[in-house]
Every structure is written in C-alpha cells, then in structure tokens.
Amino acid sequence: MSATGLAQGWERPQAGALFVVSGASGSGKTTLLKRVFEQVPGLQFSVSATTRSMRVGEAEGVDYHYVDIPTFRALRDGGELLEYAEVYGRYYGTPRKPVERALGLGLSVVLDIDVQGARQVRQSYPGAVSVFILPPSVETIRERLTARGTDSAEVIARREREATEQLSACGEYDYLVMNDNLNTATRVLEGIFLAELSKTSRRLHWVRKFTAG
C-alpha cells in the first residue's frame, strides 16, 4: 500500500508515539526509515540541536538547530533536552518542547539516535517505543562499510568497533528488526509503527464511540 493509499483511510491518533530507532553503522537504518516514512503518514523526524557549525547545503531548523555552547548547556541544565551527547568536542541533543508539541497534535516523532541517547530518552520519556535495527552479522557491517568506498581502513575499523558496542545493547529495546532483506525489514518496521499507533490508549475516541451510552 502506498503512503497516499494509506493516508486516504488513515485517521490520526489522538496522541502520537515517540519512536526511538537505533542501529549500528552499516545496518541500513537510514534506508529503512526513509522507506517507512514514505508509507506511514503522520511521522516526522526530530530536529536536533548542535554546537557544530552549519555545513554547506544545510539549513537552520531543517538539518539542525545551531546553537553556541552556553546556549546548549543552558538547555541541558534546564531539562529542555530529552537526550544529549558530546561527540568529538561537539554537543548534540533533542529539544523536548517540539517533540511534546508534535505528540500532542497526534503526530509521531522519530528519533534516530544511538544507544546512549536511547537510554536517556527511556528515562525521561518512559512511553517511548524503542526499535533496534540489526544487521545479519558483524561481517555484514564490515562489508557494507567497505563497499561505501569513502572511508579509510582505520575509519572502517573504528566504526566496526563502535558498531559492535552498539549491537551489544540490542536487548534493551522493545523491538528488533533484522535487516537481512530490505523489503521484509521495511514491512516489519512499518508494522511496528502502525501497530503502536493503533493501540487503544491512542484511540480512546473510538472506544467512546462504541461504548458510550
């Protein structure tokens, strides 16, 4: 079913879901999410805040919210971030208010973050739905990273180590999606999203419709 076809018969839930999706580098997570966004209406990515400089082709509020370090620390210390991390001297984090605003409108927000960030989100937002994208094997990750042809052997080795570390936390997640076949994995991830958005707790107006009176 195409996104247009689903949208024609899709009623937005009263409350959206916060989806946390993680996966090791080379797991195919980005491709999977792109395909699911084309199928499931009402999804939106969260725009992170960062202290790194804007790159050519990027736009404020689209790729990131670009802030200075004092501003970022104020957001962090004021509890305005669902999660944050420091990566190579730069800060990244998910602003809380835009996420809560979108959820209240019945939209669903997808956070594409690593294991460390996912742990923070689960603590600050227990209702989050967490999904981990698995590769068929660690060897598959090595093959996919090498096939890109953009990284040195040293970078590939580092990313492989980081991937192994990320994979070791997969048991912490609500759902696991094995990406050994892209079409199948897309269907599984799409099914997870649709099932969560069909929960009774998100469709109480339907309950009232058929039980009132």
Best CA proximity match to 63, nearest among 44, 51, 49: 49
Residue 75 falls inside a structural domain: yes
Looking up residue 74, the CATH number of its domain turns out to be 3.40.50.300
In a domain, 133, yes or no: yes
Question: What is the number of structural domains in the chain?
Answer: 1
Task: Specify if 164 maps to a domain.
Answer: yes
Residue 211: inside a domain: no
**Comparison of pLDDT for 119 and 6, the residue scoring more:** 119
Strand, helix or coil at 21? strand
In a domain, 5, yes or no: no
Instruction: Give the domain range for residue 81.
Output: 15-200
pTM confidence score:
0.86
Per residue in 54-72, pLDDT tens?
999 999 999 999 999 999 9
- SS3 at position 142: helix
pLDDT of residue 191: 96
Specify the pLDDT at position 89: 84
Q: Output the average pLDDT for the chain.
A: 89
Question: Cα–Cα distances in Å, from 213 out to 125, 148, 201, 207, 209?
Answer: 35, 61, 20, 12, 9
For residue 122, being part of any structural domain is answered with yes
CB contact at 8 A, 48 and 110: no
Mean pLDDT over 193-210 rounds to 93
Q: Phi then psi for 91, rounded to 5 degrees?
A: -100, 145
For 2-40, write each residue's pLDDT tens digit.
454 465 567 888 889 999 999 987 788 999 999 999 999
Alpha helices in the chain (DSSP H): 3-8, 29-39, 69-77, 96-104, 115-124, 138-148, 153-167, 182-197, 204-211
Residue 174 belongs to some domain of the structure: yes
Q: What's the confidence (pLDDT) of residue 9?
A: 66
